[in-house]
DNA sequence: GATGAATGAGGTTTCATTCAT
DNA sequence: CATGAATGAAACCTCATTCAT
């Protein structure tokens, strides 16, 4: 069963996006050339333009897909049936992995991708904050977080975690959790 | 007598660097054109090349100077004669201002600036961690931080704060501090 | 089927090289602009860079190909089945045509083309001298050149001929030959 | 006794011209930058423009002065009281020294220097031919050159000598003379 | 659908020249 | 007279995009 007529290959699309992120990580934004994307994705240069309108569109799709994938993972973690701190730890692990994936380039790439990035970035961040707020509320319900804390503000606090250029994550994730555990305890 | 002979103008140099950061913030990396830098700095295009070898060198100088300036501010804050949490709040304010200044572009610009950015970035981060460790130790000495916390690990925790794309800083800085205060209390 | 896939057009390559030499002759080295080469070769500016790494590489290829083409012609002339002086005259005609082609720019262009031109120029000249030496030896075998003359030294003498900025070749080629004929006669 | 007012220093002028030729020999035409000329001549960049209208004018003066100096030397040699072949040898030595001085760049530099170089080059060459013709005639008068040879054509022949990229002059000057001696002998 | 040779707008950089000191 | 910081025209070159095959 091959692809239906008129349909572009999902594999090629994925290969192109993966090649793009790989190059971004290795060479940075100025190292991202369409020719190099084509070579790594093992497609012709023109093929990229069958899947994406232009370079900006390619970046936009990359940023959006990865970001939403991250948010879906966060959502899944947040809604797990597990104690608050187990979910918080899982969340931070996802977050750190995501930061490592982008190596600090996320915001810069988003800027390249959007005409006016501000509202778009804000919207994304609101969604993330919504998820974290949900987490904090359920933490309060199960008694792990003291009721007096503003769920939204605490969501902001958690959102602000994870900014680290070089990652010895394991080295301090445990400490981060310990501080948070005491910090939000009733 | 304004400047010694043979010396290029400090003012022009500063104007060029400031124009560069301004453009980066407004237009992102791909919006940074030497011509635009010249226009905003109110110098000729060629003048930039009297002060910087090339575009990479301009970015390198920008990143280094701003980063060290930030670290000097952090150092000053850390060594103030003031209670631990006052210093921590001042530090977080500096940190958030610095992040706002760069709008998430710092790492991306550093990548453009350096041939192999990894060791350089690591070195800078170590220095930052040293300063934060010093802060935590003095917090332990004055009894604001419980002695059982590893100063280095706690420095990592503080270093990891502040990653936020859009900043309603005032809105949550207080909460961040509250969580930390309880989190590190004896 | 005109050209194999993956191969750039031989015609375009040739057109670019010919445009280059034409411009050099008309405008000199400082008149050689890549844009002008593109216009005369009737290709896009960027196309030149598909065929040559940069301007230096273009000049290098031009100098090398023309020089070797000249040497091949010399070789052919030298090995003709013809009396010594017939071959000498043919050789001098080739030589003068070559000098006219370059209008005195050959050495200057070679300098622009090579990082360190000296060994390369020397090597080329040795090859030329070898060919001329072969000619002189065969001249001695057929009795047209007196045996006492050193073939190598006489090759040098012939090599040193033809340096003239403005050429009324026909006007003096005959005299040049006459002098040489008597000069090398047994 | 210093320079009179309104007079520019002869030394600086000379230093600038010498620096120019030195750079040309070492770096070729594209290596000739006004800044480098100033550095080698140990004057300010602006100073060059007190002595020469622009770069073209500098090159024009260089080419003209050196060429006329060469012709003066040739004239002196030609008019010496000495046998024909002694004068011819001296002439060839001057000629080869001159070619070595320019390393094949003479024609290229002349092209850069003049708007329309052709008439100027032709005029110079005519003068050179006149001198050589004078030499040949006197050679005929003293019986060293056979009377049947056209003095002008023989001048052309001598003018066409000396074109050699790499100079093992001593190695073949003697042979060149020997060939010429027999070639023009009565 | 897929390709990559061809293109040229637009970027970076150089360097001859000027002019205030 | 002498200087060299400043300039911007103009050069080289890149690379996103197109389109004939």
Question: How many Å apart are CA D43 and CA D26, to the nearest integer?
Answer: 20
Which nucleotides of strand F are protein-proximal, with an atom < 7 A from a CB?
1-20
DSSP, residue by residue, A98-167? HHHHHTT-HHHHHHHH-SSHHHHHHHHHHHHHHHHHHHHHHHHHTTSS-TTS-HHHHHHHHHTB---SS-
| Pairs from C37-46 (Cβ < 8 Å, separation ≥ 24) | C41/C12, C41/C15, C41/C16, C42/C15, C43/C12, C43/C15, C43/C16
The separation, in Å, between residue A113 CA and nucleotide E3 C1' comes to 26
Contact B26, B8 (CB under 8 A): no
**CB-based contact, D161 to chain C, within 8 Å:** yes
Tell if C47 CB is < 7 Å from nucleic strand E.
yes
Flag the least confident range among C115-119, C165-169, D68-72. Answer: C165-169
Which of A28, A112, A160 faces B162 most closely, judged by CB atoms? A160
- D6 pLDDT higher than 70: no
Contact assessment for residue A55 and residue A34, using Cβ atoms and an 8 Å cutoff: yes
Q: Are C40 and C83 in contact (CB under 8 A)?
A: no
D23 touches strand E (CB under 7 A): no
Q: pLDDT value at position D1?
A: 46
The neighbours of chain C, by the rule of 3 or more Cβ pairs under 8 Å, are D
Residue C173 pLDDT level (bands cut at 50, 70, 90): confident
As a whole number, mean pLDDT of residues B34-47 equals 97
Of the candidates A88, A126, A100, A123, the residue with the CA atom closest to the CA atom of residue B179? A88
Q: Which of B24, B165, B169 to mutate to test the interface with A (most CBs of A within 10 A)?
A: B165
Q: What is the 3-state secondary structure (H, E, C) of chain B?
A: CCCCCCCCCHHHHHHHHHHHHHHHHHHCHHHCCHHHHHHHHCCCHHHHHHHCCCHHHHHHHHHHHHHHHHHHHHHHHHCCCCCHHHHHHHHHHHHHHHHHHHCCCHHHHHHHHCCCHHHHHHHHHHHHHHHHHHHHHHHHHCCCCCCCCCHHHHHHHHHCECCCCCCCHHHHHHHHHHHHHHHHCC
* A46-50, B162-166, C18-22, D142-146, range with the lowest pLDDT: B162-166
D contact test, residue of C105, C109, C157 with most D CBs within 10 A:
C157
Q: Which residues are CB-neighbours of D83 under 8 A, at least 6 positions away?
A: D142, D144
Please say if the pLDDT value at position C167 is more than 70: no
CA distance C11 to C154: 40
Q: Out of A103, A164, A183, whose CB is closest to B180?
A: A183
Tell me the nearest-neighbour CA distance from C95 into chain D, angstroms: 11
Number of C-alpha atoms within 13 angstroms, CB side, residue B103? 17
Residue A181: the pLDDT is 85
Average pLDDT over residues C7-13: 89
Rg of chain A (C-alpha set): 19
Cα C56 from Cα C54, distance rounded (Å) = 5
> Does pLDDT of D168 surpass 80?
no
Q: Which nucleotide is nearest to D46 (CA to C1')?
A: F3
**Lowest mean pLDDT, pick from A8-17, A95-104, C174-183:** C174-183
Does residue B164 belong to the interface with chain A, where contact is any CB pair within 8 Å? yes
Q: How far is the CA of C106 from the C1' of E4 (A)?
A: 36
Kindly report the backbone phi and psi dihedral angles of residue B161, in degrees, each rounded to the nearest multiple of 5, phi listed first: -90, 145
- The confidence band for C60, taking pLDDT boundaries of 50, 70 and 90, is very high
Residue C4 β-bridge partners: none
pLDDT at C83 over 70: yes
What pLDDT, in 10s, does the model give residues D46-84?
Answer: 999 999 999 999 999 999 999 999 999 999 999 999 999
Q: For B118, which residue in chain A has the nearest alpha carbon?
A: A166
**Is residue C182 packed enough to be buried (19+ CB in 10 Å), middle (13-18) or exposed (0-12)?**
middle
Nearest 5°: CA angle at D150, between D146 and D153? 125
**Model pLDDT, residue C1:** 43
Q: B6 to chain A nearest CA, in Å?
A: 35
Angstroms from C1 CA to nearest CA on chain D: 43
CB contact under 8 A, D172 and C149: no
Q: Do C171 and D181 touch (CB under 8 A)?
A: no
> Helix, strand, coil shares of chain C as percentages rounded to 5?
75, 0, 25
| C111 CA – F11 C1', rounded, Å | 19
- Restricting to B residues 85-124, those with a Cβ less than 8 Å away from any Cβ of A are 99, 103-109, 111-112, 118, 121-122, 124
> What mean pLDDT do residues C77-91 have?
94
Section C132-146 average pLDDT: 93
Q: Are B113 and B182 in contact (CB under 8 A)?
A: no
Cβ-based neighbour number of residue B165 at 10 Å: 18
Residue A168's CB is within 10 A of a number of other CB atoms, namely 10
**SS3 call for C161:** strand
Q: What percent of chain B has pLDDT over 90?
A: 62
Of B99, B121, B172, the CB nearest to A153: B172
Contact call for residues D105 and D67 (beta carbons, < 8 A):
no
Which residues, at least 6 apart from D116, have a Cβ–Cβ distance to it below 8 Å? Answer: none
Chain-centre distance for alpha carbon A17: 15
Interatomic CA distance for residues D158 and A142, integer angstroms: 108
In three-state form (DSSP H/G/I as H, E/B as E, the rest C), the secondary structure along chain D is CCCCCCCCCHHHHHHHHHHHHHHHHHHCHHHCCHHHHHHHHCCCHHHHHHHCCCHHHHHHHHHHHHHHHHHHHHHHHHCCCCCHHHHHHHHHHHHHHHHHHHCCCHHHHHHHHCCCHHHHHHHHHHHHHHHHHHHHHHHHHCCCCCCCCCHHHHHHHHHCECCCCCCCHHHHHHHHHHHHHHHHCC
pLDDT tens column, A18-49: 999 999 999 999 999 999 999 999 999 999 99
Q: How far is C72 from chain D (nearest CA, A)?
A: 19
The pLDDT assigned to D154 comes to 86
Count CB neighbours of C71 within 10 A: 17
Mean pLDDT, to the nearest integer, of B86-92? 93
Residue of A148 and D186 predicted with greater confidence: A148
Of B154, B157, B164, the CB nearest to A159: B164
Q: How far is C184 from chain D (nearest CA, A)?
A: 6
How far, in Å, CA of A97 to CA of A51, rounded?
28
In angstroms, what CA-CA distances link B29 with A90, B96, B117, B124, C132?
33, 21, 17, 22, 61
Q: How far is A109 from A102, CA to CA, in rounded Å?
A: 9
Tens-place pLDDT, residues D127-166: 999 999 999 999 999 999 989 888 988 888 888 876 665 5
| 3-class DSSP state of C101 | helix
Q: How high does pLDDT run on average in chain C?
A: 88
Model pLDDT, residue A34: 98
Helix (H, G, I), strand (E, B) or coil at C180: helix
- pLDDT, chain B, mean: 89
Distances (CA, A) of A176 to A169, B96, B128, D25: 10, 19, 17, 68
Which distant-in-sequence residues (6+ apart) come within 8 Å of B149 by Cβ?
A: A175, A178, A179, B136, B140, B184
| Mean pLDDT, residues C65-82 taken together | 95
> Which of B147, B153, B181 to mutate to test binding with chain A, by most A CBs within 10 Å of its CB?
B153
Would you say residue C154 has pLDDT above 90? no
User: Hey, what domains does chain B have and what are their CATH numbers?
Assistant: 1-52 (1.10.10.60), 54-184 (1.10.357.10)
How much is the average pLDDT of B149-175? 76
Is 70 exceeded by the pLDDT of residue B167?
A: no
Say what percent of chain C tops pLDDT 70.
91
Residue among B105, B118, B149 whose CB faces A107 most closely:
B105
User: Which chain C residues are within 8 Å of D105, Cβ to Cβ?
Assistant: 107-108, 111
Q: Tell me: the pLDDT tens digits for A58-116?
A: 999 999 999 999 999 999 999 999 999 999 999 988 988 898 899 889 999 999 998 88
- Which range is least confidently modeled, B3-17, B54-68, C127-141, D131-145? B3-17
Q: What contacts C62, CB < 8 A, 6 or more positions away?
A: C17, C20, C21, C109, C113
In sequence order, the β-bridge partners of residue D161 are: C161
Does residue D29 have a pLDDT over 80? yes
d(CA C26, CA B186) in angstroms, rounded, equals 86
Give the count of beta carbons closer than 10 Å to the beta carbon of residue B182. Answer: 16
pLDDT digits (tens, 9 = 90+) for A110-163: 999 988 888 888 888 889 999 999 999 999 999 999 898 889 988 888 888 876
CB C177 within 8 A of CB D152: no
**The predicted structure's pLDDT at residue D70:** 94
Which percentage of chain C shows pLDDT scores above 90? 59
Q: Give residue C118's pLDDT.
A: 80
Count the Cβ atoms, other than its own, within 10 Å of residue B181.
17
| Cα atoms in the 13 Å half-sphere on the side-chain side of A136 | 26
For chain C, what's the residue count? 186
Q: Stretch D84-102: mean pLDDT, rounded? A: 90
Question: What pLDDT band is residue D174 in, cutting at 50, 70 and 90?
Answer: confident
Q: Which residues, 6+ apart, have CB-to-CB distance to A119 below 8 Å?
A: none
């Amino acid at each position: 069963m091959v692809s239906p007529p008129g349909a572009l290959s999902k594999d090629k699309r994925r290969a192109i996006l993966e090649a793009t992120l790989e190059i971004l990580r290795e060479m940075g934004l100025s190292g991202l050339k369409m020719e190099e994307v084509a070579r790594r994705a093992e497609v012709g240069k023109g093929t990229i333009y069958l899947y994406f309108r232009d370079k900006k569109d390619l970046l936009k799709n990359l940023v959006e897909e990865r970001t939403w994938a991250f948010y879906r993972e966060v959502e899944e973690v947040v809604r797990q049936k597990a104690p608050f701190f187990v979910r918080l730890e899982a969340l931070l692990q996802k977050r750190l992995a995501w930061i490592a994936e982008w190596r600090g380039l996320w915001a810069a790439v988003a800027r390249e991708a959007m005409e006016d990035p501000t509202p778009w970035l804000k919207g994304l961040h609101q969604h993330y904050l919504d998820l974290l707020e949900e987490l904090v509320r359920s933490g309060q319900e199960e008694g792990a977080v003291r009721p007096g804390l503003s769920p939204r503000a605490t969501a902001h606090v958690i959102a602000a975690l994870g900014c680290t250029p070089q990652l010895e994550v394991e080295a301090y994730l445990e400490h981060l959790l310990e501080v948070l555990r005491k910090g939000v305890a009733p």
